[in-house]
Amino acid sequence: MSNLAYGYWEVSIEKSGRVKLPTALLRALPEDERKAFYVTHGFGEHIMLWSEKAYQEQMEYLNSLDRNLVLVKRYRNAFLRNTAFLECDAQDRIVIPKPLMEQYSIQKEIVLLLDNGKIEIWNCQKYHEMFDMSPKDLEALNEQIHLGHYNEEKEAADGVS
């Protein structure tokens, strides 16, 4: 395994709906995690492609939650809706289920963003609209993070005052 646990790739989807996973992305994963994945809804405007290990960690978390709570049930069901197990073919291609492709407006060009076994799949245009920023904007965001403003935002989202 390489030391690269993060990466960014722009990829075209084949006419048949297959996505060829970049060799560099696959090499960044442990050898036993390169051929099988779970695809689910993302936490935002993207699809998640999980290595088996990352998916099992997510499922352990989901299974630790109290299923008797309506909020937890709603979260689990929404997360698991359209979840599918995918195996790469001999050319390292996968087929993303059509309902997910449609819901997230995935068409010809996508962005793959690797983060420790978790791969975000974005509509290319939507990704750039959300994350392209000027150096000045990036500098301001960096300053906010380092000043701890993200904790304030998290507390507000959690309803902590």
pLDDT at position 83 is 94
- For every residue of 33-83, DSSP letters joined together read GSSEEEEEE-SSSSEEEEEHHHHHHHHHHHHHS-TTSHHHHHHHHHHHTT-
- DSSP class of residue 153? H
What are 102-143's pLDDT values in tens digits?
A: 999 998 999 999 998 899 999 999 999 999 999 999 999 999
Q: Residue 13 in contact with residue 19, Cβ under 8 Å?
A: yes
C-alpha span between 124 and 157 (Å, rounded): 28
C-alpha span between 15 and 48 (Å, rounded): 21
pTM of the model: 0.84
| 13, β-bridge pairs | 19
pLDDT at position 154 is 59
Q: Find the mean pLDDT for residues 2-14.
A: 84
Q: Find the mean pLDDT for residues 76-88.
A: 93
Residue 106 CB neighbour total at 10 angstroms: 22
pLDDT over 90 at 2, yes or no: no
Longest dimension (CA), the chain: 53
Q: Find the mean pLDDT for residues 34-42.
A: 94
pLDDT over 60 at 161, yes or no: no
What are 54-72's pLDDT values in tens digits?
A: 999 999 999 999 999 999 9
